[in-house]
Amino acid sequence: MDIYKFLKEAERVEIIMSQLYLRFSNMYSGDEELAFLFRQLSREEDQHQELIQFELKLVMNNRGEFKEVDLPFEEIAPLLKRAEEVLRNPGAMAPADALKLAMEFEKSVAETHMRKAITLSNPKISNLMNSLGKKDAEHYDFLAKLARKRGILPVERVIPQAVPASAEAEELAGAVVGEEKTRPPQDAHKGN
């Protein structure tokens, strides 16, 4: 597929996601925390669209530097179709369902493949694509955090990794006991 056409479709994804998040923000206006999150996500999707518009200008001005995209856009079509259906008929979607749906969109393999295909077309724009990918991961994290807070997702137990103490920390923490040095508790390294 021509990279320009592909980017136009990618732009469409960002527009639809922005509209969907704005719709959710309005639907849940009585829930300040949820409405704020969706409003913020909508704004960020708008920024993603602006970044893709910049990429479109790059392609137009440097056609020879961009290869064809080897990913059929059909992989992204189901994501678009589902978002458009919700936009047309949001119905009485429960806040929990909106959060889950948004998390599903943000974790979409289709969007990941889209960004990878654009990067393969011209590696010089990989930083732009990586930036968008990181933002999608942040979006998912924000949504998941709120979903956990509300009991929609189970709370993940994070088991802290043991962090080896430095020689200085060992010396500060205790004396030498025979040949063996005592180590400070691992939690002493956290929070600073």
List all residues 6 or more positions away from 154 whose beta carbon is below 8 Å from its beta carbon: 148
Place of tokens 């924000």: 142
Torsion of CA 52, 58, 59, 61, to 10 degrees: 150
165 vs 114, more confident: 114
Predicted pLDDT at 51: 85
* Whether residues 55 and 29 fall in one domain: yes
In whole angstroms, give the CA distance from residue 118 to residue 129: 8
Could you tell me the residue range of the domain that residue 192 belongs to?
Answer: 161-192
Same domain, 112 and 190: no
129 and 168 in a single domain? The answer is no
The CATH code of the domain that includes 116 is 1.20.1260.10
95, 120: one domain = yes
108 within domain boundaries: yes
Condensed to tens digits (0 to 9), the pLDDT of residues 143-183 reads 888 888 888 866 554 444 444 444 443 443 343 334 444 44
The dihedral sign for the CA sequence 89, 93, 95, 98 = negative
Of all helices (H) and strands (E), which one includes residue 99?
helix 95-106
Kindly give the residue spans of alpha helices, DSSP state H, lying in 107-188.
Answer: 109-121, 126-149, 167-173
Sign of CA pseudo-dihedral 39, 86, 107, 109? negative
> Does residue 43 lie in a domain region?
yes
- Kindly state whether residues 103 and 69 are assigned to the same domain: yes
> Mean pLDDT in the chain?
74
Q: Is residue 155 situated within a structural domain?
A: no
Considering its fold, how many domains does the chain have in total?
2
Question: 28-32, 47-51, 52-56, 90-94 — which is least confidently predicted?
Answer: 90-94
Instruction: Tell me the β-bridge partners of 180.
Output: 177
Residues 138 and 97 in one domain: yes
Q: What is the tens place of the pLDDT at every residue in 79-92?
A: 788 888 988 887 77
